[in-house]
Amino acid sequence: PSALSASIKDMAAEAGADVLVIGQIQTFPQQISTTGRFKSCEVQGNVKILALWGDGRVMAEYTDRGAGVQVSELGAALKGIEWFTVGKRPEQNVEGLAAWVHRTMANEWAIMTRNNVIRITVNNIDDKEKGVLIDNLKHRTAVRSVDEISYSNGVAVLEAKYPGRAFALADTIGWYGDNPGVFSALRFNCKKISVTDVRRGEITLQLSPGTCGE
C-alpha cells in the first residue's frame, strides 16, 4: 500500500470506492512424487484492506498459503488460487480470503464510518473566528469532534472526526458557507467560507469578504 500512487487512491475514492483490497497471490509448481500424474502447485498470498476514508490507513492484512492439484501445471495453479480465495467448496461455505474480507469489513466498517478523521485547513481566519468556527462545526454540523493542530499567520489546521467522507462534509460547508445562521463566525468580519479544495481525508477552506448577516 505504501507504494500505491496517491492519485489512484484519490480516483478510487472519487469514483465511490470505500476501500481497496490489494495484494498479490503467487504460485509455485511443486514436484511431489505422491501426486502421480497430477501436478501440484503451492500458493502464497499477502493481501491488505486499505481504507479510502480519512488518512487511508491499512485496516487489516491477510497472509496465508495453500496448494492446488490438477492434471496440468496451469490447472493446479488456477485451482490453488481458487482455494486460496474462496475455499474448496464455496457453494457450501465460503472460506479463505473472501471470508476474511467479509469478517474484517463487518468488524471495521462501523468504526471507520463513525470516526472518519478529516484534516481541515482554513485560510484567512483570525483567532476569534477560529474558536467560533470550531464550535460551529461541532454543534451545527454532524462533526463529532474537532481538535486544533496548529494556527499561524491566519492559517488554522484542524482535525475533525466526522461520520462520513470528506466530500460530504465539504458539500455541507460549501452549501452553508455564506449563512451566518449556521456559521456564526462569519458575522464578526462580514466573511463567507468557500471550499477551495477537497480530496481524500482533506478539506481546504478560505474565508473571504462577504455580506454581514444578522
SS (H, E, C) 12-77: HHHCCCCEEEEEEEEEEEECCHHHCCCEEEEEEEEEEEEECCCCCCEEEEEEEEEEEEECCHHHHH
Residue extents of the structural domains in the chain: 6-114, 116-209
* CATH classification (class only), 116-209: alpha beta
Please report the DSSP string for 131-157 in residue order.
Answer: HHHHHHHHHHSS--EEEEEEEETTEEE
pLDDT at position 214 is 47
As averages over each run of 10 residues, the pLDDT of the chain (214 residues) reads: 70 82 91 73 93 80 90 90 92 92 88 86 93 92 94 95 90 88 78 89 89 56
pLDDT at position 206 is 94
pTM for the predicted model, two decimal places:
0.66
